[in-house]
Copies of this chain bind each other. A is one copy, B any other.
């Protein structure tokens, strides 16, 4: 907990959202200006606290008395909303400090976002707030909203309309973009998503997004927090909040923008080049149980599903569709999203018989044509049948085109949804705006097409059984590993080659290929006393990057003669290439298996992360890895399952089957190594690490380690 946080009392967020009184500094008559709009909203949306207006040039604003400065107010307000220029706001903040006003929202811009000059101002604001213990929202935020008490402290024009009724509820939106946050709040509200709070975090000099998310989870009101993130300033607090959410059965959903732009760049380590920002977010959020939204609409759609059905549900859907075509499209979309169709049991089949005309078949997806939507008792009966089928987890109704009768049908669906034990979802195609809003407002998620429905459902699905890795079985020889690192560092190296690298791996109980370093044919002959033939010979030199391309690798040496000849050859090659430091590594040849990559890198946001994926010489071409936090659960089963090229792992094609249970201890030991040595290393590649048949632990064949 840093200084700012330490200065805050528990319940600080509640205090921010529930001020008894507020001052608007920079209040204006002109609703084209922030100080005009924000004031108007506070008055229009029913905020019941005292609202004081401050404007040095006016005695009256929007028909209410205006004060020259905060110092003239008749009471100490709970929050000052500051909408004057950046330069002028310094004085205002000093007045807040003098008056011991506990919180301020800086809706003005002109700070760090405009460059060096603004950054200086921002530093002054930050210092004054910190010294005075003022909770600071922003600067450069367009505001925050508490739906419950009408504290609509925003100047976003989304609220600029008559007749908008705001609905309180368990969803909160926290956004690093004011425009995005305000638009989401509004699009959520008008489509029936009960958004209780909006927090636009602006430049985050005091309160950051992570702090708000964390505090919202403590409130019994909120079970779903939707976040728009451009970059996490306090990733460890975010991780902590995610763990809290999991403990409490609440959900965080995150939309990360800018992920492609700052994507994977070329890097020395495979692991680093394969694990760009987008993949790291994918892996870390997956691990934390945070749902990742792929876009603006998707974020709201996920929110809709999680609010309606906070308890995870299964993947088998029963579909009732008024159109065969939409039934097929739903089947396609569910399959693409990793779901499937429920089998109709005897009871469903028997029950459907009197409800369906003879010419419609009783299969899933059930094409009912228009009938049950004209005879709504049949619709109800069918939904009940589906709900009682033990092979079915959710029900999806596809309906549409009934413009005139949409509300009648929607009422029945909403009424049934209340009775059903399992989640009910609706696809409404061909019109139905009113029905869609109504259903969503009653927590029956309703979408205009199959793709949006299936993409929105995914984060609500039950996760597989978590299978955290275990490494408790081996006590690592940390001293031996550290010795390799310091030795390399003393020699001025930034890179530790495969020989040193495998010593480090071995110190952590990871199986490595047996090898000997030799510098003459005679030494090679001696080495063969401890190595089993056939062996591989590799020329080793700091200056030799691509051994194989330089002709520096000899495979399948099966006799001591061929080994000695190869060593002789390679040393001659080294002389030709002018590599005075060269020697030769003799390695036992590991039987063919599945070549994986196991790696680690320092991520700019999340620190050390572990990468597991398809390895071998074509690693970059496969481009198929999963990333997780080094100090996370490391569910190897889940990581392997999410790789794209599954047929490499499934035991087909004469390859060994890659069993997560066999790999997991190695991955766990590697993660322990990474955590222990995190301060000293930037990246490690173990590639390939070869997976064998049966229960034998995988063997690390090559590795490279990049010092910090």
Hey, which bits of chain A sit against chain B, CB under 8 A?
A: 32, 109-110, 113-115, 118, 156-158, 160-161, 175-180, 182-184, 186-187, 190, 228, 230, 257-261, 294-298, 322-326, 328-329, 331-333, 335-336, 358-360, 369-370, 374, 400-405, 429-431, 448-452, 546, 548-549, 617-618, 620-623, 645, 647-648, 652-654
**25 A-B Cβ contacts within 8 A?**
A109-B369, A157-B370, A157-B403, A160-B402, A180-B323, A180-B326, A180-B329, A182-B430, A183-B323, A183-B429, A183-B430, A184-B430, A186-B430, A187-B429, A228-B325, A260-B335, A260-B336, A296-B450, A296-B451, A297-B449, A618-B653, A620-B652, A621-B645, A621-B647, A623-B647
Question: Smallest Cβ distance from A367 to chain B, in angstroms?
Answer: 9
- A650 — nearest CB in chain B belongs to which residue? B621
- A652 — nearest CB in chain B belongs to which residue? B620
Each complex incorporates copies of this chain amounting to 2
Question: Smallest Cβ distance from A187 to chain B, in angstroms?
Answer: 6
User: A401 and B182 in contact (CB under 8 A), knowing A118-B359, A158-B430, A449-B296?
Assistant: yes
- Tell which of B118, B358, B404 touches A160, judged by Cβ atoms closer than 8 Å: B404
Q: CB-CB < 8 A to A333: which residues of B? A: 295
- Whether the pair B325, A177 counts as a contact (CB closer than 8 A) is yes
Question: Smallest Cβ distance from A11 to chain B, in angstroms?
Answer: 30
- A398 — nearest CB in chain B belongs to which residue? B179
The 10 closest A-B pairs by CB, nearest first: A183-B430, A177-B325, A179-B323, A114-B359, A295-B451, A180-B325, A296-B449, A158-B401, A257-B328, A621-B648
- Whether the pair B404, A157 counts as a contact (CB closer than 8 A) is yes
Q: CB-CB < 8 A to A190: which residues of B? A: 431
- A549 — nearest CB in chain B belongs to which residue? B654
- A370 — nearest CB in chain B belongs to which residue? B157
**Given pairs A156-B430, A180-B429, A259-B332, 12 additional interface contacts (CB within 8 A):** A157-B403, A179-B322, A179-B324, A179-B326, A180-B323, A180-B329, A183-B430, A257-B329, A258-B331, A260-B336, A295-B451, A620-B647
Q: How far is the CA of A653 from the CA of B549 in the complex (A)?
A: 9
- A402 — nearest CB in chain B belongs to which residue? B157
Q: CB-CB < 8 A to A257: which residues of B? A: 325, 328-329, 332
Q: CB-CB < 8 A to A160: which residues of B? A: 402-405
Q: CB-CB < 8 A to A546: which residues of B? A: 654
- Whether the pair B430, A187 counts as a contact (CB closer than 8 A) is yes
Q: CB-CB < 8 A to A369: which residues of B? A: 109
Q: CB-CB < 8 A to A261: which residues of B? A: 328, 331-332, 335
Q: CB-CB < 8 A to A652: which residues of B? A: 620
Q: CB-CB < 8 A to A113: which residues of B? A: 359
- A162 — nearest CB in chain B belongs to which residue? B404
Q: How far is the CA of A449 from the CA of B110 in the complex (A)?
A: 28
Q: CB-CB < 8 A to A328: which residues of B? A: 230, 257-258, 261
Q: CB-CB < 8 A to A228: which residues of B? A: 325
- A187 — nearest CB in chain B belongs to which residue? B430
- Whether the pair B176, A325 counts as a contact (CB closer than 8 A) is yes
Q: CB-CB < 8 A to A548: which residues of B? A: 654
Q: CB-CB < 8 A to A359: which residues of B? A: 109-110, 113-115, 118
Question: Smallest Cβ distance from A261 to chain B, in angstroms?
Answer: 6
- Whether the pair A158, B403 counts as a contact (CB closer than 8 A) is yes
User: A157 and B405 in contact (CB under 8 A), knowing A259-B332, A325-B180?
Assistant: yes
Q: CB-CB < 8 A to A647: which residues of B? A: 620-621, 623
Q: How far is the CA of A258 from the CA of B360 in the complex (A)?
A: 19
- Whether the pair A401, B179 counts as a contact (CB closer than 8 A) is yes
- Whether the pair B622, A645 counts as a contact (CB closer than 8 A) is yes
Q: CB-CB < 8 A to A109: which residues of B? A: 359, 369
- A176 — nearest CB in chain B belongs to which residue? B325
Q: CB-CB < 8 A to A180: which residues of B? A: 323, 325-326, 329, 429
- Whether the pair B400, A161 counts as a contact (CB closer than 8 A) is no
Question: Smallest Cβ distance from A685 to chain B, in angstroms?
Answer: 15
Question: Smallest Cβ distance from A454 to chain B, in angstroms?
Answer: 10
Question: Smallest Cβ distance from A376 to chain B, in angstroms?
Answer: 12
- Whether the pair B324, A177 counts as a contact (CB closer than 8 A) is yes
Question: Smallest Cβ distance from A457 to chain B, in angstroms?
Answer: 15
- Whether the pair B401, A157 counts as a contact (CB closer than 8 A) is yes
User: A621 and B653 in contact (CB under 8 A), knowing A182-B401, A326-B179, A335-B261?
Assistant: yes
Which among A113, A429, A652 has the highest number of chain B CB atoms within 10 Å?
A429
Question: Smallest Cβ distance from A369 to chain B, in angstroms?
Answer: 8
Q: CB-CB < 8 A to A653: which residues of B? A: 617-618, 620-621
Q: CB-CB < 8 A to A176: which residues of B? A: 325
Q: CB-CB < 8 A to A621: which residues of B? A: 645, 647-648, 653
Q: CB-CB < 8 A to A183: which residues of B? A: 323, 400-401, 429-431
- Tell which of B115, B332, B401 touches A186, judged by Cβ atoms closer than 8 Å: B401
- Tell which of B186, B297, B622 touches A431, judged by Cβ atoms closer than 8 Å: B186
